[in-house]
Amino acid sequence: MQVINQKKVIDALVSSFKKEEKSIGFVPTMGALHDGHLSLVKIALAQCEVVVVSIFVNPTQFDKLEDLEKYPRSIDNDLALLKKCSQEIIVFTPSASEVYGGSVYTETFHFGSLEMYMEGKHRTGHFDGVASVLQLLFDIVKPDKAFFGEKDFQQLQIVKKLVNLLDLNIEIVGCPIAREPNGLAMSSRNMRLTPAERSQAKLIYETLQKVKEYFGTKSVLQISNWAIDQFLNNQEIKLEYFEIVDEETLKSVTTFEKGKNYRAFVAAYIREVRLIDNIPLN
Ligand code: AMP
């Protein structure tokens, strides 16, 4: 396994892969890897001849400095996990100046309704930060395919739009959400929960599963009121939002229409740890 922190070294490798017509798969991460990340890496390994995994805690996508500072970092463990997956992986671990050049900056993008609700509304500037770093990383790695988790479904839709806006020839592959045995979506943030809190956090997925069950039998309002009540009745978990949205536009809906796909989303806090999850309804 090669671990590379200089973009010129990646450049040289990528040029040689392109000459050999090898397909390049890319899995961007912020490290603190868990089985959710590794599930993306395994899908990439199955679909591409070369796989590049980046580990870079991108400062521009954090709206709170405290969150950036508290973000878990575990590079030795990350490299050991990747090595176990495959010796062939190329790991890119750049510094901020290697990615951004002289100074870190954020570009402004226009993603329309995709960025207006949920994470876009509650984390100011988050998606501009994500898109800014991905634009740069895509330019360095030049992947044929890039792999993103449905755990961050809004991000996945934004990345598809980004590729479209920039006219990049990259296929964006959405990958299923990996979960703990109790249903909690795997996340680097789960490390900050006590065992008791991890157990309480299962309410999020339990609620989403029931919401999926109710889809088709109850109205949007009935389902939403029921879901919100589950959190109001719980002392430990503080709901930030519950939304049922049209999967394509990510706009929240008041009625269900035939022929459209819907998804339910939750963001909630346990203490100061923010957790997100979602489920397709049809
Ligand atoms: P992050 O390191 O949190 O930026 O995540 C890197 C990638 O891993 C993103 O595409 C995430 O959506 C994906 N990811 C994180 N957690 C999970 C999970 N539990 N299941 C599937 N993909 C995930």
Q: What is the number of H-type helices and E-type strands within the chain?
A: 11, 9
Q: Could you tell which of 52, 148, 152 is best to mutate to test the pocket of ligand 1, judged by most ligand atoms within 8 Å of the CB? A: 152
Based on the residue annotation, tell me whether 126 is a catalytic residue of this protein: no
Asked whether the beta carbons of 159 and 183 are under 8 A apart, the reply is no
Asked whether the beta carbons of 270 and 237 are under 8 A apart, the reply is yes
pLDDT band at residue 164 under the 50/70/90 scheme: very high
Reported as a single tens digit per residue, the pLDDT across 215-255 is: 989 999 999 999 999 999 999 999 999 999 999 999 999 99
Q: Report the range of poorest mean pLDDT among 48-57, 65-74, 94-103, 203-212.
A: 65-74
How many Å lie between the centroid of ligand 1 and the Cα of residue 78? 14
**Rounded CA gap, 89 and 13, in Å?**
12
How many Å lie between the centroid of ligand 1 and the Cα of residue 173? 13
Q: C-alpha angle with apex 177: 175 to 183, nearest 5 degrees?
A: 165
Question: How do strand 50-55 and strand 145-149 relate by DSSP bridges?
Answer: unpaired
Asked whether the beta carbons of 234 and 203 are under 8 A apart, the reply is yes
pLDDT over threshold 90, residue 193: yes
Looking up tokens 């979506």 gives: 185
Q: Tell me which of 34, 37, 110, 122 is the catalytic residue.
A: 37
